[in-house]
Amino acid sequence: MSEAATETPTEEARNVGRRRIVVLVPLAVFLALALLFLYRLGSGDPSIIPSALIGHPVPQIDLPPLAGLERDGTAVPGVAAASFKGNVSVVNVWASWCVPCHDEAPLLLQLAQDRRVRLVGINYKDDPDNARRFLGRYGDPFAAAGADANGRAAIEWGVYGVPETFVVGRDGRIAYKLVGPITADNYNAVLLPQIEKALAAGS
């Protein structure tokens, strides 16, 4: 007779119990992690995601101008890493195919009226014609607009997805990062105070 056949009912019950534990432990761990993730996700503003680049210099990557983009007959320059020194800049990563980018465009145009701040656009994986049409429709708020055709610059900037907006201090270091679109609420409650803080720090 086999060993299994000689097991008593008590031993059999113990073995079944052990097998159940082996199956249930990974499931319990997975559920605990899922609950922790959901708790952390719902416990705060999802737009406030910490960035490893806060306090660090802007990525040393230059971007070519957005092809064909002009202002008053002069080509709008691309993005040069060296140009961040000495200015408080707001860097917006956007694309014409990005739906929330259409919603935030009027707020960027409003921000562009503040001459203390330099607005910089990084056009992410976009068709130049579509990008120009986008700016023609909403207005072009950018003092400089670079084309990130392959998405490499966005990786260097630590972008999770478009749109994202950064505040860069006069020292050329990233002071703040806003994940997701600029809205009427976070424009006044979050972005403007962060810009004022950067302006004050550089004065």
Q: Tens digits of per-residue pLDDT, 33-76?
A: 655 544 444 444 444 455 678 999 999 999 999 999 999 999 99
179 and 80 fall within a common domain: yes
Give the side-chain half-sphere CA count within 13 A for 99.
0
Q: What is the DSSP letter of 57?
A: B
Q: What is the largest CA-CA distance in the chain?
A: 95
190 and 109 fall within a common domain: yes
Q: Could you tell me the CATH number of the domain that includes residue 135?
A: 3.40.30.10
193 and 125 fall within a common domain: yes
The angle subtended at Cα 173 by Cα 167 and Cα 175, nearest 5°, is 40
Total count of domains within the chain: 2
- Lowest mean per-residue pLDDT among 29-38, 49-58, 107-116, 135-144: 29-38
Q: Would you say residue 24 has pLDDT above 90?
A: no
151-169 burial: b if 16+ Cβ within 10 Å, else e: eebbeebbbeebbbbbbbb
Q: Would you say residue 90 has pLDDT above 80?
A: yes
At 95 the three-state DSSP class reads coil
Residue 61 inside a domain? The answer is no
Question: Taking the model in full, what pTM does it have?
Answer: 0.76
89 and 152 fall within a common domain: yes
Residue 65 inside a domain? The answer is no
Residue 49 inside a domain? The answer is no
By residue range, what is the domain housing residue 135? 70-201
Residue 157 inside a domain? The answer is yes
160 and 87 fall within a common domain: yes
